[in-house]
């Protein structure tokens, strides 16, 4: 079986994530301690105990989700006595999950990844005044139709496709008034549309100030070739080149997350199994919708890790 390891994005966080891992595996504890030290913040305490409102803040959620994902990979490697490249043909992540994938594959140091995600979260939150941006999910709509709706609803304001998550699920992002118009327009075409509870309009042109901040930060960080080829959000085609990765991480802040295309690309390369590494099961659900022949596994809790190790043996 050819497998990809995939890494979840924002929205998968929950109070208590990683706690069982830390209790059961010293290598996981070590990851959490290293990230706490890099950020000069007890992020692990926030992950384990909450409060939920603080964990959900973009500047905390992004680094926290990465911490759990990398802790799971390190635990799998330690318990299974293998390296990621021995078991994974590819790595991919949904939005911030791309940073988790790169950290797991050794492209970034753990400390650099934590600091980059802290900055990314802060920059994305600051880019747009609260209440002036919005995001909405369009259901039963494919990307081409979503692009038409976004174009029609824009009326001179920003209204972009942010996430192509799977068949019939596209997320729009942009100015609040434009997104409201897009929701009504979709409904007038007989489609379901709903506003999302988010703190900022991610993956649209309004995020350009955050992209600029990430360009500066990424220019100062060493990126090594990942030990496993990455399939980035922006292109949905593999790369292992550090400078390409650096450029795509900047473009990712304002660009479309091509998750549906990513999964189809992996399938075209012979991938028939995926391991969702970290909190939640959102990506596994999307994978099943995109291609029912790909068998997804989840690795977060000690029991899940034990089950995954049996299949990887």
- DSSP assigned state of 225: P
| CB 181 within 8 Å of CB 150 | no
Domains present along the chain, CATH in parentheses: 3-127+206-312 (3.40.366.10), 133-198 (3.30.70.250)
User: Side by side, which strands form the sheet with 169-175?
Assistant: 159-166, 169-175, 133-139, 192-195
pTM: 0.97
pLDDT on residue 287: 96
Distance between CA atoms of residues 159 and 14, nearest Å: 29
What does R_g of the chain's alpha carbons equal in angstroms? Answer: 19
Residue 177, C-beta contacts closer than 8 angstroms, at least 6 positions apart: 157
- Bridge partners, residue 209, by sequence: none
Distance between CA atoms of residues 161 and 144, nearest Å: 10
- CA–chain centroid gap for 262, Å, is 12
Distance between CA atoms of residues 34 and 113, nearest Å: 11
Q: Check whether the bond before 51 is cis (ω within 30° of 0).
A: yes
Q: Within 10 Å of residue 144's Cβ, how many Cβ atoms? A: 9
pLDDT tens for the chain, residues 1 to 313? 899 999 999 999 999 999 999 999 999 999 999 999 999 999 999 999 999 999 999 999 999 999 999 999 999 999 999 999 999 999 999 999 999 999 999 999 999 999 999 999 999 999 999 899 999 999 999 999 999 999 999 999 999 999 999 999 999 999 999 999 999 999 999 999 999 988 899 999 999 999 999 999 999 999 999 999 999 999 999 999 999 999 999 999 999 999 999 999 999 999 999 999 999 999 999 999 999 999 999 999 999 999 999 999 8
pLDDT on residue 313: 85
| CB 245 within 8 Å of CB 230 | yes
pLDDT on residue 261: 98
For the annotated catalytic residues, the residue numbers are 95, 203
Distance between CA atoms of residues 157 and 122, nearest Å: 24
| CB 305 within 8 Å of CB 73 | no
Write out the H or E segment, with its range, that includes residue 132. Answer: none
pLDDT on residue 1: 87
């Amino acid at each position: 079986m050819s497998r990809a390891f995939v890494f979840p994005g924002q929205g998968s966080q929950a109070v208590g994530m990683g706690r069982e891992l830390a209790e059961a595996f010293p290598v996981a504890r070590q990851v959490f301690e290293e990230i706490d030290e890099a950020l000069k913040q007890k992020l692990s305490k926030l992950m384990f105990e909450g409060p939920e409102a603080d964990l959900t803040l973009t500047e905390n959620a992004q680094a926290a989700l990465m911490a759990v994902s990398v802790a799971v990979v390190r635990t799998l490697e330690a318990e299974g006595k293998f390296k990621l490249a021995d078991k994974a043909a590819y790595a991919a992540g949904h939005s911030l999950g791309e940073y988790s994938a790169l950290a797991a594959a050794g492209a970034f140091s753990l400390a650099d990844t934590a600091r980059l995600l802290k900055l990314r979260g802060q920059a994305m939150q600051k880019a747009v005044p609260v209440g002036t941006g919005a995001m909405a999910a369009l259901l039963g709509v494919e990307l081409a139709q979503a692009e038409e709706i976004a174009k029609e609803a824009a009326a001179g304001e920003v209204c972009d496709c942010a996430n192509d998550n799977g068949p019939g699920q596209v997320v729009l992002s942009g100015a609040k008034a434009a997104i409201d118009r897009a929701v009504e327009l979709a409904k007038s075409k007989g489609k379901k549309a709903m506003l999302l509870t988010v703190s900022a309009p991610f993956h649209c042109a309004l995020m350009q100030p955050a992209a600029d901040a990430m360009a500066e930060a990424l220019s100062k960080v060493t990126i090594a070739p990942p030990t496993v080829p990455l399939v980035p959000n922006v292109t949905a085609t593999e790369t292992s080149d550090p400078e390409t990765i650096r450029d795509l991480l900047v473009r990712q802040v304002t660009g479309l997350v091509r998750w549906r295309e990513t999964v189809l690309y992996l399938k075209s390369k012979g991938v028939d199994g995926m391991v969702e590494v970290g909190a939640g099961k959102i990506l596994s659900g999307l994978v099943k919708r995109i291609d029912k022949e790909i068998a997804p596994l989840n690795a977060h809790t000690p029991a899940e890790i034990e089950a995954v190790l049996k299949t990887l043996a």
